[in-house]
């Protein structure tokens, strides 16, 4: 038995239709190049790049409507599943750092600098992007529900799962958002707080006491359970149901639109997060000698990995949305041709 090698693993990354068509001959070429002494990591990296191109472009895929609809559905999932990571990150950003523009330096800042105002605006942009993506995701979810109901092939278990789990995730997210909003002094209307100022005069201290109320804890735990159940299992359920159900072309088209809108919202969030981090760092400390304290923020310099995470997810989402659109139109073209040929 041959030991699995790096190039073999890379070959396995090609789509199934590609492996069926070219897999064997590519294996022979890989064997030849390996026996020549070419480094296997180099062959593997070349194969990985090729596999990515094959998945993105679909070159060599057979002209079958079903195959291209399947590709579209897979691409829609690639574009939408990052939302399950993006939304918690966005909420973390908002509940931990969204009011930094107001909390600049901790002193009551009635007139933040231009950079501070930009940071505030970008935090608002982030809130809007999150709100829009939740609405779009909700619309996509209802479309999928409708699509699953339309086809008799989808059993009641599938329908139930797709109806309940993502809903639980959304409700959990909203509960946590509300709890975060209630415990956030900036959102509650206070202007700011500062370290280095006596606690008796610091407005943050009073709000901090109010954070650990019993109802807040209960809501947090409840929201956490809902998120745990819905948010972690939801993507798998959505993926399973979407891949297994035979969806109609209008439903798939709606899915590609939802995927495109979500990809755009993710890009906006990535840009807002990065811009916010840069802008808040430019805000001068209002009190000499007092460090520029991100008073309401638990993010600190974490905005850099946070923004990089957003950027990575946005890239994945955009690639998925692009492939979904192209594959959908290819599938639609093939469907038209098939219909014309059948009619003749």
Partner 1 sequence: MASKRLGRTQDPTLMVLTSLTGGPKHGYAIIQDIEQMTGIAFGPGTLYGVLARLEEEGLVEALPADDRRRPYRITASGAAVLRQRLETTAKVARIGLRRLGAWT
Residues of this chain that interact with partner 1 (CB under 8 A) are 10, 18, 21-22, 24-30, 32-33, 38, 42-43, 45-51, 53-54, 59-60
* In the complex, least distance from residue 52 CB atom to partner 1, rounded to whole angstroms: 9
Map tokens 């804890």 to a residue.
217
Which of 65/273 has CB closer to partner 1?
65
* In the complex, least distance from residue 326 CB atom to partner 1, rounded to whole angstroms: 14
Phi-psi domain of 183 (left: phi exceeds 0; alpha: psi -120 through 50; beta: other): alpha
The b-or-e profile of 162-177 (16+ CB within 10 A means b, else e) is bbebbbbbbebbebbb
Separation of alpha carbons 154 and 241, rounded Å: 8
* In the complex, least distance from residue 2 CB atom to partner 1, rounded to whole angstroms: 14
* In the complex, least distance from residue 21 CB atom to partner 1, rounded to whole angstroms: 8
Which of 18/310 has CB closer to partner 1?
18
Which of 12/206 has CB closer to partner 1?
12
Which of 36/215 has CB closer to partner 1?
36
Which of 52/232 has CB closer to partner 1?
52
Map tokens 């954070």 to a residue.
211
Count of C-beta atoms within a 10 Å radius of residue 64: 13
Map tokens 């501070």 to a residue.
116
Contact assessment for residue 94 and residue 87, using Cβ atoms and an 8 Å cutoff: no
* In the complex, least distance from residue 322 CB atom to partner 1, rounded to whole angstroms: 18
Which of 28/198 has CB closer to partner 1?
28
Map tokens 């959505």 to a residue.
238
Separation of alpha carbons 326 and 112, rounded Å: 46
Contact assessment for residue 187 and residue 98, using Cβ atoms and an 8 Å cutoff: yes
Separation of alpha carbons 83 and 260, rounded Å: 12
- Report the DSSP beta bridge partners of residue 294: 104
Kindly state the tokens that stand for 303.
Answer: 């905005």
* In the complex, least distance from residue 253 CB atom to partner 1, rounded to whole angstroms: 25
């Amino acid at each position: 038995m041959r030991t699995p090698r790096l190039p073999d693993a890379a070959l396995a990354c090609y789509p199934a239709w590609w492996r069926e068509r070219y897999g064997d001959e590519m294996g022979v070429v890989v064997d030849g190049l390996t026996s020549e002494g070419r480094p296997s990591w180099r062959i593997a990296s070349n194969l990985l790049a090729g596999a990515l191109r094959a998945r993105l472009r679909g070159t060599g895929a057979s002209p079958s409507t079903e195959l291209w609809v399947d590709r579209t559905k897979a691409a829609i999932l690639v574009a939408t599943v990052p939302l399950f990571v993006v939304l918690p990150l966005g909420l973390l950003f908002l509940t931990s750092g969204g009011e930094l523009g107001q909390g600049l330096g901790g002193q009551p800042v009635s007139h933040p600098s231009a950079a501070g105002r930009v940071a505030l605006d970008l935090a608002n942009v982030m809130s809007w992007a999150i709100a829009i993506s939740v609405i779009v995701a909700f619309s996509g979810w209802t479309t999928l529900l409708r699509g699953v109901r339309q086809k008799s092939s989808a059993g009641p278990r599938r329908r139930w799962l797709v109806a309940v789990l993502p809903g639980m995730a959304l409700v959990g997210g909203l509960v946590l958002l509300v709890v975060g909003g209630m415990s956030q002094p900036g959102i509650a209307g206070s202007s700011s707080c500062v370290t280095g100022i006596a606690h008796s005069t610091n407005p943050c201290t009073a709000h901090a006491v109010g954070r650990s109320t019993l109802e807040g804890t209960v809501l947090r735990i409840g929201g956490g359970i809902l998120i745990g159940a819905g948010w972690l299992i939801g993507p798998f359920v959505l993926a399973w149901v979407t891949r297994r159900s035979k969806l109609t072309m209008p439903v798939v088209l709606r899915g590609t639109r939802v995927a495109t809108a979500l990809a755009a919202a993710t890009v906006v969030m990535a840009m807002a997060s990065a811009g916010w981090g840069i802008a808040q760092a430019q805000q001068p400390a209002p009190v000499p000698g007092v460090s520029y304290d991100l008073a309401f923020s638990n993010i600190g310099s974490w905005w850099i990995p946070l923004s990089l995470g957003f950027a990575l997810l946005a890239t994945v989402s955009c690639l998925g949305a692009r492939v979904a659109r192209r594959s959908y139109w290819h599938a639609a073209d093939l469907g038209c041709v098939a219909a014309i040929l059948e009619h003749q």
